[in-house]
Every structure is written in structure tokens, then in C-alpha cells.
């Protein structure tokens, strides 16, 4: 879905999201949160990539070109991108790949190299792989179908990438088990890392507390935070991944 953002005054950062009303009716009642897929500054548009799964996303497919969409944002905290050299590493599964696409776009615009491991059930299920390649990212695909998406195989792949490249930062979204793996490996190698969390949201403004998660803050104290407000992007080392 491509929307005209020419009247948007705020800066939009990769990792942030917009809350989208699916229909001009009371059902479905709740809006749906969508992370930024692409930020097109030249033609002042924003792109959202979504998978049609339920009534909300099904209703969104009924929007016509030239029509109006009721959305608000940008919301939440985006990715930190303070990389000046080296390579960024992205690890994602499923629709989480779409969340990292805007990050690959920013890396390309800054002249920073990027490499991505994309996980899915099958190659046909992959989202945004061609988009990431279009931004110059080197892509590695792992799938259940080919028996390559297991944690140990991905660990070996990460070890090889980290030995061959100077990884300045790592980012992940879409899989708890792969995020735990990256959390472990980046901590061992002292690599800056962030995670974009996916949670069901009620209000997306921090009022309803429907999207909470547990983190350890900078002092190591465990506390509960709202994904929509304090996140959805958090330092990977702080998030409690059960």
C-alpha cells in the first residue's frame, strides 16, 4: 500500500509504525499497526507491505488507487543508525523482513554495506527479498523446506558472516528463536544490536497496555514496558525473549 505523505510534517524513521483504520465501519473495530516498508523522500510517499491474514487486512485490499486511507503516525521508537563504516547485519523471518527493508534502504543511502539472513517456511513465502537486494544487500535465504532454517545452521552462517565482514551493528525482527541466537552472539562479540518486536496492539498510543513486554533496563532491573510507546525497537541485549 502506497500512501501520499506530502503533508506529513514529522520525520519518519525505519522501525516506526503507523496505525491504519481498515474500513469506514465499526467492524473491524481496532486499527492495525504496520511498520514502514519504504520511505520515498523524492516523491513524498510511504509504503506498507502486509500479509492478508484476517478481516482487517482483507478489507484493506478493497482500497482503490486515488482513495483515502485513515492512518496516524509515525508512532513508536525507530532503529538507531549511527553506523559510519563496516556492514550492518539483518536477521529476519516472515513479515519481519518487511520491517527491516527501510533500514536496508537507509544503509544504501548512506553508503553502508548490508547483509541479510532471511528465514521462511519456503522460498515462495519470502517477502521483500528482491527489495533488499535492490538496496545492495547481500542476501542469504534459509527455509524449513530446505532444512536450513534451524538455529545451529543459522549460527554457523552468522559465524561465517561475522568472520568475513566487519559487522558494525545488527538488527532483527520476526522470530524469537533467531533473536535469542543473535542476542547471544552479539553479546559475545560486543556488537551493537536492536530488535523490532511484533505484538498485538489495542490503541498503539500507550494507553491500553495490551502490548507489554519485559526488559532489563540499563541498571539491569527487570521492568515491563509498552511495545507501542517505549518500542517497538529496543536494544537487543535488554529484551527478555522467552
Report how far apart, in Å, the C-alpha atoms of 242 and of each of 10, 179, 183, 211 are.
Answer: 35, 10, 12, 15
pTM of the model: 0.92
Q: Any binding-site annotation on 114? A: no
Q: What is the pLDDT of residue 242?
A: 77
Q: What is the pLDDT of residue 51?
A: 85
Burial of 146 (0-12, 13-18, 19+ CB in 10 A): exposed
Q: Any binding-site annotation on 32? A: yes
Secondary structure of 171-204 in HEC code, one letter for each residue: EEECCHHHHHHHHHHHHHHCCEEEEECCCCCCCC
Q: Any binding-site annotation on 224? A: no
Q: What is the pLDDT of residue 47?
A: 94
Q: What is the pLDDT of residue 94?
A: 84
Q: Any binding-site annotation on 56? A: yes
In the chain, domain spans: 2-75
CATH H-level superfamily of 2-75: Translation factors (2.40.30.10)
The label of the residue with cell 552472539 reads: 185
pLDDT tens digits in sequence order for the chain, 242 residues long: 999 999 998 999 999 999 999 888 888 888 999 999 999 988 899 999 988 889 999 998 998 999 888 999 999 999 998 888 899 999 999 888 889 999 999 999 999 999 999 999 988 888 788 889 999 999 999 999 999 999 999 999 999 999 999 999 999 998 999 999 999 999 999 999 999 998 889 899 999 999 999 999 878 888 999 999 999 999 999 999 97
Compute the CA torsion angle 64, 68, 69, 75 (nearest 10 deg): 140
Q: What is the pLDDT of residue 165?
A: 94
Q: Any binding-site annotation on 213? A: no
Compute the CA torsion angle 228, 234, 239, 242 (nearest 10 deg): 60
Q: What is the pLDDT of residue 127?
A: 79
The DSSP-derived string for 21-78 is ---SSSSS-S-EEEE--EEETTTTEEE------SHHHHHHTT--TT----EEEEESB-
Beta-ladder partners of 172:
91, 195
**Strand intervals (E) in 67-149:** 71-75, 87-93, 113-120, 138-143
Cβ neighbors of 54 (< 8 A, separation 6 or more) are 28
Say if residues 192 and 170 touch (Cβ distance below 8 Å). yes
Q: Any binding-site annotation on 208? A: yes
Q: What is the pLDDT of residue 154?
A: 96
Q: What is the pLDDT of residue 124?
A: 84
Q: Any binding-site annotation on 72? A: no
Q: Any binding-site annotation on 57? A: yes
Amino acid at each position: 500500500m502506497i500512501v501520499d505523505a506530502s503533508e506529513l510534517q514529522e520525520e519518519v524513521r525505519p522501525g516506526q509504525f503507523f496505525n491504519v483504520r481498515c474500513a469506514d465501519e465499526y467492524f473491524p473495530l481496532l486499527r492495525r499497526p504496520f511498520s514502514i516498508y519504504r520511505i520515498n523522500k523524492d516523491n513524498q510517499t510511504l509504503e506498507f507491505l502486509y500479509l492478508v491474514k484476517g478481516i482487517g487486512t482483507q478489507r484493506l485490499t478493497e482500497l482503490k488507487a486515488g482513495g483515502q486511507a485513515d492512518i496516524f503516525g509515525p508512532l513508536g521508537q525507530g532503529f538507531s543508525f549511527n553506523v559510519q563504516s563496516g556492514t550492518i547485519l539483518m536477521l529476519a523471518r516472515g513479515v519481519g523482513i518487511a520491517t527491516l527493508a527501510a533500514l536496508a534502504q537507509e544503509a544504501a543511502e548512506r553508503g553502508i554495506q548490508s547483509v541479510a539472513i532471511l528465514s521462511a517456511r519456503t522460498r515462495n513465502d519470502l517477502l521483500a527479498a528482491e527489495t533488499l537486494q535492490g538496496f545492495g544487500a547481500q542476501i542469504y535465504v534459509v527455509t524449513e523446506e530446505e532444512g536450513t532454517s534451524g538455529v545451529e545452521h543459522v549460527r554457523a552462517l552468522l559465524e561465517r558472516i561475522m568472520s568475513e565482514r566487519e559487522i558494525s551493528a545488527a538488527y532483527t525482527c520476526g522470530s524469537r528463536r533467531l533473536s535469542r541466537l543473535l542476542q547471544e552472539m552479539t553479546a559475545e562479540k560486543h556488537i551493537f544490536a536492536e530488535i523490532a518486536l511484533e505484538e498485538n496492539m489495542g490503541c498503539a498510543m500507550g494507553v491500553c497496555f495490551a502490548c507489554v513486554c519485559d526488559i532489563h533496563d540499563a541498571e539491569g532491573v527487570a521492568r515491563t514496558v509498552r511495545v507501542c510507546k517505549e518500542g517497538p525497537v529496543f536494544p537487543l541485549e535488554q529484551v527478555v525473549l522467552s
